Structure 1
Amino acid sequence: MTAQDHALCSHCLLPIGRRAMRLTVNGEACAFCCYGCCIAYQVKHGKTEEWEAAWLLIRLGVGGFLSMNIMLFSLLLYSDAFSGADAEMLPWIHLLLWLFATPAVIILGGPFLREAWLHGMEGRLTSSALIVLGVGAAYFYSAFATIEGSPQVYFDTATMVLMLFTAGYYLDAAGRARAARDLQPLLAAESEWATVVIGDGEYRRPVREVDAGVLVRVRPGERIPVDGVIMEGESHTDEALLTGESRQIAKGVGSHVIAGSINLDGPLLIQSRGVANATRWAQICRSVRDALIRRSPSQRLADNIVGVFVPIILVLGIGASVYWAQHLSFDRALLIGLAVLVVACPCAVGLAAPMATSLGIGRLARHGCLVRDPAALEALARIRLIAFDKTGTLTSGQARVVAIDSDGTSADAVLAHAAGLERHSEHGLARAIAAAAAARGLEPVAIHDVRVVPGRGIRGKSDGRIVAAGSAALMRELGWSLTPNLAEHGRQREASSHSVIYVGWGEQAYAALSLDDTPLPEARSTVEALRRRGVRVTLLTGDLPAAAVRIAAAVGIETGDIEAGLTPEAKRAALGRRRHDHGMAAMVGDGLNDAPVLAGADVGIAVGSATDLAREAAAVVLPPEGLRTLPWVIDVARAVRATILTNLAWAFGYNLIAIGLAMVGVLQPVLAAAVMAGSSIVVVLNSLRLERLPEPVPSAAAESAPASRSTATSNQKAA
């Protein structure tokens, strides 16, 4: 007997056997012994979307049973089965239909009546009002006809219209519940609990109460609730929720872990490194919630149109009934008016934008891309120009040794002496030199009596000789001459905006180290991918023109699309000029001085390593090392906008045609309701296609990094 055979139903706690029903409810995997337990559990424990879908399914089942019986007897009436000697049974059949129809109308129509009443109290007419008026007219007309003994009743019309609309609403709610289940892990940061270790005891605490320095125990299979450092244990983590990367990452003592990732195979003791509500997971949670609450321009437009559309349809429905009453019987004219009200119900219009937008925002959030406003998603789809900042956006933002020019001394000897000095310094260039030496496996030369010479470099002693690294001015101050060849190399490097450090010992300068900020491995492919999508790319930077030209050439930006030496205000003005020439423009940046231009762009995009101010000013935030996802983000935005436009075109186009057919008497109310429900289903299915969009291109940085280091090392050795 397997472990599965011992599993219990999540609702009734009976054994589930081999054919269990499995469903994710509130982000938790559940198993059920039967479909009834599955529905009951969702009603009792499900969040809004799941609860709504489950209740609709229950109403659909009860209402369907009653409606099918009504349809059975109605078909007998339409076939004149109760004629001749059986005619005396006709009033009793009508009464039986009335008895079946009354609970069906209450069960199926109750939600529509409640919604119409609440909106009516606010002075608004919505699609529910059309349904209530149409169904109510058919039901009460049939009730009066039953009392008066009229041969024509339309209880089947009233109940089947409600059945079809409820079926459409159920499919809509099921689609929303599916989208909500996909988003549940992203939105759970604020409701998570953590196992806090205090002394020898473990206590469950809400994650919002966990502060920096607190020890948290995370068992295998649990989601890590805090950002922190592993103090005890080894495991693998899955960070797909935040980065979109499906690969497992090995973690051990001293490794950093991020909140929202899953601990896969080993218990961990983690020390929190910050307040729980400041983690990236919590930021994603807040951003997604805020974005889903806001309404996009397409949604607002659709809402405004529906607000005008519903009163017009009421007038058209009444007008159609009045007109046809002069040519047909009253009951036939009533059915035509009812068909107009039913077929024009703007359910599909109301779903057209919200569902596509929610799915798009959720898809981006699952890959760590935050969208603060749905309007930004729609604007991003129409972007024709993207301007990049340089440092920290297209480049790593950290200096690296890119060349070693010497007069014949080996590069390893130069780096070993330089690293021996620079390990005593906290300067950014010093760290770059130490990293270059470590990459070659060099042991720094032991140097003592180290002294920093402000603004010029650093000096010390080794084996009784002075060792120095710094500017040409420091070399001259020490009385050390530069060979003509070395001096020329240094001038050329400085003219290209490289930082140059001369290294010497024993009263002679032996080499010049060139350091520079290097382009990100994915920068060029990102620029090329944007161009293939018809987006013009430009570089706006505050750096020197020579550095801007060099980086632009490396990533594939044309010389005419470069503006350098810009202040923050000048960047904003430059973007405004280019927007005037090329159309809607986005700005990608990460620095403090990028905040004004990010806020002034049609869409401001901040990279994950951006400063807090830049992130707050941006409408879209990419994940760390997420520049490669930018073309994919644009693809998703375009797909969302295309889906919204397709949904709206279908919904409005369908309504116009269907209303015309209903007004000339071609559509019966039941057929009109079926077509209306079908329209909503088409919109839902069209929106769900967004879930099948391709994934972003995997990062090549990790794969190319070893090769890049190897190439850089070879180049330095050759130099």
Structure 2
Amino acid sequence: MLSHGCFHCGQAIPEGDLILKPINGTEREFCCHGCASVCEVIYEAGMESFYQRTPEGELLSPPPPPNKDIEFFDYDEVQSQYVTELTDRRQITLMSDAIHCAACVWLIEHSLAKVDGLLLASVNFTNKQIKIRWDNSKIKLSDIIKKLNSLGYDATPYDATSSEAAYRKANRDLLYRLGFAGFAMMNVMWFSVALYTGASEDQGYRNYFHWIELIIATITLAYSGQPFLKGAVTSLRARTVGMDVSISLGILTTYFYSLWITVNPNSTGGVYFDTLIDFMFLLLIGRYLQAISKNKAVDASRRLMDLQPKVARQVIDGDTKIMPVRALLPGNEIRVKPGEQFPVDGIVISGLSMVNESMLSGESREISKQVGDRVAAGTLNVDGILTVSVENILQNTQLGRIVHMVEEAQGSKAPIQCTADKIMPWFVSTTLMLAAVSFLYWFFNADLEFAVMTATAVLIITCPCAFGLATPMAIAVASGISARHGILVKNGTVLETLQSIEHFVFDKTGTLTKGQMQLVDYKLLSGIDEKQFLLEIGSIEHLSEHSLGRAVSESIKDRLSLNNKDWLDIHQFKALPGKGVQGEHQSSTFNIGTARWLNSLALVLPQTLVNLADERASLAQTAVWIARDNNVVGVLFLEDEIRPEAVELIQRLKAKGKKVTLLSGDLNVVAQRVAEQLGGMNVIAEVLPEDKNRVIRDLQESGQQVAMIGDGVNDAPALVRANVGIALGSGTDVSMDSADIVLMNNELLAVDTAVELSARTLKTIKQNITSSIIYNIVMVPLAMSGVLTPLIAAITMPLSSLVVIGNAARIRRFFSPKAISKRRQGIK
């Protein structure tokens, strides 16, 4: 081996593998052509300061070999598995195990920022993910991956399955280290027992057992202690003081003190290799239990994704064949039998069945699905065989998007967590100072051995694990469990800010009202058989595709308790867009539509009906005129019905002292009438769609914290502007994308539920922080006084973290049947 190292990765250059290449006019030595090419690319891009940013002494890895199948990822069929929308502007998350330090983050982000057509490159150092947004008309995904490869970073699209596998691997690795520490602890215990029972009186036996314990402790420290030591090194390289720093310092202090006693056989102190291994074992138990508890607490989103089958019955030439869902394409047909879950989002093309959608909406009532209806992945087919045309698969399904949003919410930071993160380094620094003070005090007032053990106990007992988990655990549990009950929280900040909102602004149409017209009244001239006449009108409108026509037919169907087979045979049906419909029944010709259309047909509208229609127009009721055989004989009045739960929601919010405002583009008299029906609220009416954003801004400028609740495209700017935007699941995709909270269950009362969940989450966060502070206030003085040994500290420290995790898990009880019943009864 040559003595020099590679100019790029720093590793030794094997004999015969030396590569010479000029870099900036100076000939440099490399271990392979890959390192030489990467270095050349870095210098050509003007990124040579990367080498100054790499941690001192850190060896880079030679670049991975280029993937020969990179162009495979350029196909839309492949990208559809990882990319939400196959438009010109696309976004994907890549993974790269080669990311190992902050310098890597800097190099990737700055290098890709210079690539034409690449709109965003954001690196997450923690999970080694690279979020990429690019213009597909200017650059291909394979070119981006090649660019990363040229910099020395392999990259592949992120797959949730791979992420789950990585999680299981990390847990398995932790369990192996725990098992090794337990095995070492049992073996060292025999030697310790021998020393405590008299072997220590013989100098030869004493030294012999100490050296055996040293060998076992050294191996255990190198393997089982690796998670703590690596965590401490990472923190120090990033110039921060993390929780692993205090643990590692305590472990190493005990180890080197015992080592000093061992190599100096004439020393009078005792060795603590058994204690060292014991508290490594106990710390690993605590960390493993934390990992399991955190997984159980935040696995609501994982359980949601598990509801989506991984295989499907594809229909090919009339036969069914079991296929992986990943292999399906839009337009393929699949068959779903009773008792099975839908593996994809799609449209029913044959069959009739009841479907349970509770896992998406939180509503237990089963819904009938027939030809033309949409079905969602993960929902349960109850009693019929359905053939479905595939629309979306895997993460592009409604369920997949929900899981993605929940994961983002669980990873986001609330303001109180950001504050905790800022406090954390000071907390650990204070811990180190207290340990130093304890050591110095007992060194001069007792002996070196007692001083070392006391300082170690302080370092272990004050590990800020519980403090660091206080906020993220509560947010992760709340966002995960709420998603399972139809309330999708898209970022953690909302869970802290929602309970402080003082002004709730509601859009009217589609939010406080159903957004669906309904027949509320009608007026017919005398001498008409009312039931027969309504049956004829309903039979004609039943053939219409217009929303008003469907509203009329459905309302008449409910009024007369009809079935679809009860409709009359209609002849010469014709729909006239913007005017109305025509049809014949038993030689009678009907014209049903607007007053203007009937006037254009030279038909005379009775003045009494005209006056009634004008009166109802002021109440936001729409008139549909009816003429039979060229004589106007009646008028129907339709109205957008108020949601039944809207009144209760407004009452609940007002009882909490919140201001409530109705925001509408309707006439003021119409908006005022709706407000009266809701029990009274502020009204801002006759607002143009583009002005809703301005209204929210004006309220905020007056010093108010505002929440906007809407469902339409024109609500999107206001939802973004508001401190908290809440969209109904029945609304448009634009409104849901713009909101912070999406009510997938489409229940308006879920607004109040979200407010109470926010209060519960913040309460839990404060409880967790308070408990971790109390723990330190009580335990630190005991450790500094020498009452607590490092072994006891190693037991109590993980217990404090488990208390925080357990308290956060209690948020799941918020949606228990008993808790839901109490909220519905108004019991606080």
TM-score relative to the length of structure 1: 0.81
Once residues 317 and 715 of structure 2 are traced to their aligned partners in structure 1, the CA distance between those partners, rounded to angstroms, is 46
Which consecutive unaligned segments of at least 5 residues does structure 2 have?
A: 1-161, 822-828
Contact 2:301 2:403 in 1 (8 A): no
Q: Does 2:704 correspond to 1:549?
A: no
Q: Give 2:461's aligned residue.
A: 343
Contact 1:335 1:669 in 2 (8 A): yes
> What is the SS of the residue equivalent to 1:511?
strand
Match of 1:515 among 626, 632, 638: 638
Q: Give 1:108's aligned residue.
A: 224
Question: What does the per-residue CA deviation read over 1:412-466, in whole Å, with 9 as the maximum and x for residues that have no partner?
Answer: 34434544654565443223223233332364584648584x7665566666666
Question: What does the per-residue CA deviation read over 1:50-95, in whole Å, with 9 as the maximum and x for residues that have no partner?
Answer: 4444443443344234335545765776xx6428976764434434
Match of 1:121 among 227, 237, 241: 237
Deviation at 1:177, TM superposition (A): 2.3
Once residues 466 and 235 of structure 1 are traced to their aligned partners in structure 2, the CA distance between those partners, rounded to angstroms, is 38
Once residues 185 and 86 of structure 1 are traced to their aligned partners in structure 2, the CA distance between those partners, rounded to angstroms, is 61
Q: Give 1:490's aligned residue.
A: 613
Instruction: Please give the residue correspondences for 1:601-680 in structure 2 after superposition, counting only pairs within 5 Å.
Output: 601-623=722-744, 625-680=746-801
Aligned residue pairs: how many?
652
Q: Give 1:227's aligned residue.
A: 345
Once residues 573 and 172 of structure 1 are traced to their aligned partners in structure 2, the CA distance between those partners, rounded to angstroms, is 47
Q: Give 2:507's aligned residue.
A: 389
Once residues 388 and 594 of structure 1 are traced to their aligned partners in structure 2, the CA distance between those partners, rounded to angstroms, is 10
Question: What does the per-residue CA deviation read over 1:497-550, in whole Å, with 9 as the maximum and x for residues that have no partner?
Answer: 211123233554332211111112332233334344444332111122222223
Q: Does 2:517 correspond to 1:399?
A: yes
Q: Give 2:152's aligned residue.
A: none
Q: Give 1:703's aligned residue.
A: none
Match of 1:432 among 545, 551, 554: 551
Once residues 419 and 238 of structure 1 are traced to their aligned partners in structure 2, the CA distance between those partners, rounded to angstroms, is 30
Q: Does 2:325 correspond to 1:207?
A: yes
Give the AA of the match of 1:412. K
Once residues 521 and 698 of structure 1 are traced to their aligned partners in structure 2, the CA distance between those partners, rounded to angstroms, is 22
Contact 1:629 1:697 in 2 (8 A): no
Once residues 271 and 575 of structure 1 are traced to their aligned partners in structure 2, the CA distance between those partners, rounded to angstroms, is 42
Deviation at 1:200, TM superposition (A): 5.9
> What is the SS of the residue equivalent to 2:776?
helix
Contact 2:325 2:393 in 1 (8 A): no
Q: Give 1:412's aligned residue.
A: 531
Q: Give 1:21's aligned residue.
A: none
Once residues 781 and 727 of structure 2 are traced to their aligned partners in structure 1, the CA distance between those partners, rounded to angstroms, is 49
Question: What does the per-residue CA deviation read over 1:622-664, in whole Å, with 9 as the maximum and x for residues that have no partner?
Answer: 1153323222222222222221221122223423443344334
> What is the SS of the residue equivalent to 2:378?
coil
Give the AA of the match of 1:334. V
Once residues 514 and 166 of structure 1 are traced to their aligned partners in structure 2, the CA distance between those partners, rounded to angstroms, is 72
Contact 2:410 2:480 in 1 (8 A): no
Give the AA of the match of 1:225. P
Which consecutive unaligned segments of at least 5 residues does structure 1 have?
A: 1-43, 701-719
Contact 2:348 2:388 in 1 (8 A): yes
Q: Does 2:412 correspond to 1:294?
A: yes
CA 1:239–1:105: 2 relative to 1, 3 Å: same
Instruction: Please give the residue correspondences for 1:19-38 in structure 2 after superposition, counting only pairs within 5 Å.
Output: none
Deviation at 1:246, TM superposition (A): 4.4
Contact 1:416 1:445 in 2 (8 A): no
Once residues 713 and 556 of structure 2 are traced to their aligned partners in structure 1, the CA distance between those partners, rounded to angstroms, is 32
Deviation at 1:287, TM superposition (A): 1.5
Contact 1:284 1:368 in 2 (8 A): no
Deviation at 1:596, TM superposition (A): 1.1
Give the AA of the match of 2:442. W
Once residues 178 and 635 of structure 2 are traced to their aligned partners in structure 1, the CA distance between those partners, rounded to angstroms, is 80
CA 1:90–1:240: 2 relative to 1, 3 Å: same
Instruction: Please give the residue correspondences for 1:317-396 in structure 2 after superposition, counting only pairs within 5 Å.
Output: 317-396=435-514
Higher relative contact order (CA 8 A, sep 6+): 1
Deviation at 1:345, TM superposition (A): 1.0
> What is the SS of the residue equivalent to 1:185?
helix
Once residues 714 and 301 of structure 2 are traced to their aligned partners in structure 1, the CA distance between those partners, rounded to angstroms, is 34
Moved more, 264-273 or 302-311: 264-273
Q: Give 2:177's aligned residue.
A: 59
Question: What does the per-residue CA deviation read over 1:664-711, in whole Å, with 9 as the maximum and x for residues that have no partner?
Answer: 4343322222222221111011111112222589999xxxxxxxxxxx
Q: Give 1:314's aligned residue.
A: 432
Once residues 66 and 277 of structure 1 are traced to their aligned partners in structure 2, the CA distance between those partners, rounded to angstroms, is 45
Moved more, 592-601 or 104-113: 104-113
Give the AA of the match of 2:731. A
> What is the SS of the residue equivalent to 1:399?
strand
Give the AA of the match of 1:434. S
Give the AA of the match of 1:297. P
Once residues 254 and 520 of structure 1 are traced to their aligned partners in structure 2, the CA distance between those partners, rounded to angstroms, is 26
Q: Give 2:19's aligned residue.
A: none
TM-score relative to the length of structure 2: 0.71
Give the AA of the match of 2:185. S
CA 1:192–1:638: 2 relative to 1, 3 Å: farther
Match of 2:285 among 167, 176, 179: 167
Once residues 358 and 578 of structure 1 are traced to their aligned partners in structure 2, the CA distance between those partners, rounded to angstroms, is 31
Once residues 541 and 355 of structure 2 are traced to their aligned partners in structure 1, the CA distance between those partners, rounded to angstroms, is 36
